[in-house]
Amino acid sequence: MVVVHVAVRTALGYAALSWPTSTQMQRNAGLVVVLAVALLWSGVDALRENPDDDDRDDLTLRWLKAAVLAGPVAGLVGWSVEGLFIDSVGTSQLAGDVIGGGAFTALLIFVPAILGLLFGRLARPDRKANRRAGSREPSV
């Protein structure tokens, strides 16, 4: 998720320099990309999860840890990439990128990840098979 966020941020920085009149549309597209990747990735995780395994990690906690780690790291890497390759105008705001941007990035990862886990678990084939098998049992 760090790579996705930094790639989107770098692309937005380059696009803002190249096409400065359409920055709002570019930001919205970047936001959709980050949200969609988190949603789809966590949905695939939930589909691949084995519900019968007692030693499995809780995917919600794993995605929370990933979001909390990815937020500040993406802020730091994005700040340095922006300063090195795009322009060094906004490089004075390191603390804002790491703390404020990191918290926002963590939310951008965790909230769609929760939705992806929910949809992935609901769409899991074994859940549908168990529901159908339970309805065929005769009552005594």
SS (H, E, C) 69-108: HHHHHHHHHHHHHHHHHHCCCCCCCHHHHHHHHHHHHHHH
pLDDT in tens for each of the 140 residues of the chain?
889 988 888 888 788 778 878 788 888 999 999 999 999 999 999 888 877 766 556 888 999 999 999 999 988 888 888 777 776 666 667 788 788 888 998 999 999 999 999 999 888 876 555 555 555 555 55
- So what's the pLDDT on residue 75? 86
Residue 26, amino acid: Q
- So what's the pLDDT on residue 38? 94
Is residue 109 included in any domain, yes or no? yes
Is residue 74 included in any domain, yes or no? yes
Distance (Å, whole) CA 59 – CA 92: 37
Is residue 114 included in any domain, yes or no? yes
SS3 110: helix
- Tally of domains in the chain: 1
Is residue 52 included in any domain, yes or no? no
- So what's the pLDDT on residue 88? 64
The domain of 88 spans 58-124
- So what's the pLDDT on residue 131? 55
Is residue 111 included in any domain, yes or no? yes
Is residue 35 included in any domain, yes or no? no
